[in-house]
Amino acid sequence: MSGVGRVAVIGSGSWGTAMAGLLSARAREVMLWCRDPELAATVTRTRKNPRHLTDYELPANVTATSDRAAAVEGAEVVVMAAPSAYLRSTCRDFAPLVPADVPVLVLTKGVERGTGELMVDVVADELGGRERVAALSGPNHAEEVCLGKLSAAVLACQSQEVALGLQGLLVTPSFRVYVSQDVTGVEICGAVKNVVAIACGAAVGFGAGDNTLAVIMTRGLAEIGRVSAALGADPLTPMGLAGMGDLVATCTSRHSRNRTFGEALARGETLEEFEARTHTVVEGARAAESVLSLAREHGVEVPITSAVHAVLNDGVNVLDATDQLLGRRPSEEFYGIADQEKGRD
């Protein structure tokens, strides 16, 4: 699948827009689906998205539409880039239109609220054929990918054939893609790192230094490792691009909406106010609740996730949540991870 005729990208946020541009190098035509008809018309007319990556000019072979049938007609690959809260309903709307043999690439990161399902599972529930559904994750800020700056990602899928095919479609001189069959590990990494980034942003907002950020990120990586291990994922996955790579980028970059929201949270801004002001979705805020539920179900301690959830959902003051974290008695550094590995021996 080093080149295809037509690709459909469902979702016109920052990552969907950047991915449409990236895929245009190997596809004859890329159709970007926008929920808003006016936005679709503007993107087609100007080749720019006035809401996201506003200075980025899309290649000439990228067209936008708000018509679902037109978006996926003749598509040889479908890319899902809807926010996690709307992924299931979006897939359900497209289900009658997507052929059963078309590979589906999922860009959305998170754990579904209520069901505890990973994004690949949500898509497979609605579109069918989990073996043809893949997840893409890694340290990939759309703002840099669209400019052709060197980036790398990991593509996880049950089917090696589908994974290799999609890899061929995505790889460019500036975008490296590695394949994996650890779908669960890659997805858990993508969900939990967003929560940790909110904690890092809040710490920065209160004047924390580099040492503090290093502590939060390292303990966050351990949190990712414990949840991944409990769900049977490959213990090496959190050490790679989907885990450590994406965690570092999301927790340190000015492009990260999760870290930026954490900083705003420290200033007293609410989630609703931040999303209305920035016209973005803070995936980590949704993941805090769903990851916490998943962790409790599997008996896993996730103190950073618990603290972020308490601030966002239980009215706990950010400083009080920080004090609770710092007041925890340190345990063994890799508790909960080594135990899981011993259980497999």
The pLDDT of residue 334: 65
Backbone angles phi, psi at 282, to 5 degrees: -90, 95
Domains 4-181 and 184-343 share a fold: no
The pLDDT of residue 1: 59
Residue tagged active-site, from 48, 109, 149, 193:
193
Task: Convert the pLDDT of each residue in 9-24 to its tens digit.
Answer: 999 999 999 999 999 9
Across 39-70, b (16+ Cβ under 10 Å) vs e yields: bbebbeeebbbebbbeebebeebbbbbbebee
Half-sphere exposure of 50 (CA within 13 A, CB side): 10
State the DSSP code for 300.
-
Task: Convert the pLDDT of each residue in 42-65 to its tens digit.
Answer: 999 999 999 999 999 999 999 999
Domain range annotation of the chain:
4-181, 184-343
The pLDDT of residue 338: 58
Residues of the chain with pLDDT under 70: 1-2, 326-345
* Surface-to-core class of residue 259, CB atoms within 10 Å of its CB (0-12 exposed, 13-18 middle, 19+ buried): buried
Residues counted in the chain: 345
Q: Whole-model pTM?
A: 0.92
Instruction: Please give, one letter per residue, the 3-state secondary structure of 38-56.
Output: HHHHHHHHHCCCCCCCCCC
Task: Convert the pLDDT of each residue in 72-121 to its tens digit.
Answer: 999 999 999 999 999 999 999 999 999 999 999 999 999 999 999 999 99
Give bridge partners of residue 245 from the DSSP assignment. none
Residue 329 CA to residue 40 CA, distance in Å, equals 53
> Which segments of 224-332 are extended strands (E)?
none
The pLDDT of residue 345: 43
Domain 4-181 in CATH 2.40.160.40? The answer is no
The pLDDT of residue 315: 87
Q: Is 193 a catalytic residue?
A: yes
State which fold the 184-343 domain adopts.
N-(1-d-carboxylethyl)-l-norvaline Dehydrogenase; domain 2 (1.10.1040)
